[in-house]
Amino acid sequence: MQDRRVIIDTDPGIDDALALILAFNSPELKVEAITTVSGNVPLEDATRNALQILEVLDLPEPPPVACGAAWPIVREPLAARHVHGEDGLGDIAVLTNAGGGPRYPRPTLSPVGTSAVELILSLLSESPGEISIIALGPLTNIALALESNPAAFSQVQEVIVMGGAVNGIGNVTETAEFNFYADPDAASRVIRSGTPIAVIGLDVTTRTLLTPAALEASTRDRRDRVAEFITDVSSKYFEVSLQRRGLSGCPLHDPLAVGVAIDRSFVTLESFRADVETEGHLTAGMLVADRRKRAAQPAGPTIRAAVDVQSERFINFFLSRALP
């Protein structure tokens, strides 16, 4: 199979980390760049975490990491340290090794000098129609790239977005999902742009629960660095999912978006006219998809959004790739 060339825009984030591991362990994908954005943690932490994940993976040729937006387009930044830990990776910064030193020292890799927007636009311009973006955080970088050079951005093959929920059930508020709530203005601009978009929202991602027992079974006989890292970052995620949501496992939100880039048949996609609410007192950040049955769709930009998922198949796939 031919490699699918992708840029991963991300705010690591525990599930972002799991998504990056899945991407780098999947021969179907060629990750051309990682761009970082403020989201689960502020930009500086998100960038450090992206570099940390690359160091754990110890790739022979790591892709460039470019820093993106530190602030949403209109709103103040919002973080989710209560879910992802103080450092954004489940508080691994405080863990020590047998000798008492830090188990995860500060990464030695550095970001490139180019900004996320510049790197996205130059990669898309150099390879028209050949590169997709997998967006795992707030859509600030994507909206800024789209607006700063619409012609260059229009060369994107597709944007696969983890965000929103077609059924309108949120995880930050009653109606809004975190990535869209963190920067609703960016999400609205991207959704309305007419770019080919596949939205992988909470409707499906909350049905991909990785349980502690399944992870334990996959890591039991392993002593390697990636297995140790996945175990270390996931323990906080399991704890929070149980305490805050009563869930028996943690949702593989961001990994599912990567999974769809590899194999579309993990989800069922349907077309919707859609927008994101930027102002509503109760509904800011809500993905509003027109689910009414119509004889003919009214004109206007549409997105494809996932409405069903092969959960068990995807979870097994994730484990087989992340922990081969």
Task: Tell me the catalytic residues.
Answer: 253
Binding partner of 88, given Ca ion, ligand BDR, none, CB within 5-8 angstroms per partner class: none
**Cα 319 to Cα 98, 214, 215, 219, distances in angstroms:** 27, 8, 8, 10
Q: How many residues bind ligand BDR (CB under 6 A)?
A: 15
Nearer to ligand BDR, 47 or 149 (CB): 47
Number of alpha helices (DSSP H) and beta strands (DSSP E) in the chain: 13, 11
Residue 9 in contact with ligand BDR, rule: CB under 6 A: no
**Candidate residues 15, 158, 185, 277; the one interacting with ligand BDR per rule CB under 6 A:** 15
Unique residue bearing structure tokens 């051309």: 32
Restricting to residues 124-153, name those near Ca ion by CB under 5 A: 136-137
Q: In terms of DSSP bridges, do strands 65-67 and 29-36 run parallel, antiparallel, or are they unpaired?
A: parallel
Residue 171 in contact with ligand BDR, rule: CB under 6 A: yes
Binding partner of 80, given ligand BDR, Ca ion, none, CB within 5-8 angstroms per partner class: ligand BDR
Unique residue bearing structure tokens 């130059």: 122
Residue 203 in contact with ligand BDR, rule: CB under 6 A: no
Residue 164 in contact with Ca ion, rule: CB under 5 A: no
Cβ 65 vs Cβ 47: under 8 Å: yes
Identity of the residue numbered 324: P
Restricting to residues 77-96, name those near ligand BDR by CB under 6 A: 80, 83
Residue 13 in contact with ligand BDR, rule: CB under 6 A: yes
Residue 287: which H helix or E strand, with range?
strand 287-289
Identity of the residue numbered 244: R
Q: How many CA atoms lie within 13 A of 77 on its CB side?
A: 18
Restricting to residues 253-282, name those near ligand BDR by CB under 6 A: 253-254
Cβ 115 vs Cβ 143: under 8 Å: no
Residue 136 in contact with ligand BDR, rule: CB under 6 A: yes
Unique residue bearing structure tokens 């932490």: 45
Binding partner of 178, given ligand BDR, Ca ion, none, CB within 5-8 angstroms per partner class: ligand BDR
Positions that interact with ligand BDR (CB under 6 A): 13, 15-16, 40, 80, 83, 136-137, 162, 171, 177-179, 253-254
